[in-house]
């Protein structure tokens, strides 16, 4: 969550050292159906995705609210830099398949 200048992915070092932190209070079940039910699989994937989205949103707003009380740092680096995209594709590898099995 956030922008190139400020995002939610950086950890709060003080909370890690002191053993505290603002973690989520609820975790979505990570079980997936094995019976081929597409609706149940869609529901399981949605719950896991929704949990991570809300966790990132909560982290972003907590960091944003802490920044309100901090002095403006002129030389604070941005959270991310803008870089040109890089694409790398390996040559296909041969795959020996035992067709008789």
The 3-state DSSP composition of the chain as helix, strand, coil percent (nearest 5) reads: 35, 0, 60
Burial of 28 (0-12, 13-18, 19+ CB in 10 A): middle
pTM for the full predicted model? 0.48
Q: How many domains does the chain have?
A: 1
Domain ranges, residue 17: 1-101
Beta-sheet strands, E only, within 1-101: none
pLDDT of residue 19: 47
Contact indicator for 6, 72 with CB cutoff of 8 Å: no
Name which residue leads in pLDDT, 20 or 36: 36
The reported pLDDT for the residue numbered 87 is 94
| 44-97 pLDDT, tens digit each | 889 888 888 888 888 778 877 776 666 666 676 666 778 899 999 999 988 888
pLDDT for the residue 91: 93
**5: nearest Cα among 49, 54, 67:** 67
Among candidate residues 16, 13, 1, the one with its CA nearest the CA of residue 61: 1
């Amino acid at each position: 969550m956030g922008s190139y200048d400020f995002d939610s992915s950086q950890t709060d070092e003080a909370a890690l050292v002191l053993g505290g932190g603002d973690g989520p209070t609820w975790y979505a079940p990570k079980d997936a159906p094995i019976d081929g039910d597409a609706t149940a699989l869609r529901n399981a994937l949605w719950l896991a995705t929704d949990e991570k989205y809300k966790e990132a949103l909560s982290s972003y707003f907590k960091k944003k609210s802490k920044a309100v009380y901090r002095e403006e740092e002129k030389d604070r680096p941005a959270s991310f830099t803008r870089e040109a995209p890089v694409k790398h594709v390996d040559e296909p590898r041969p795959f020996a398949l035992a067709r008789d099995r």
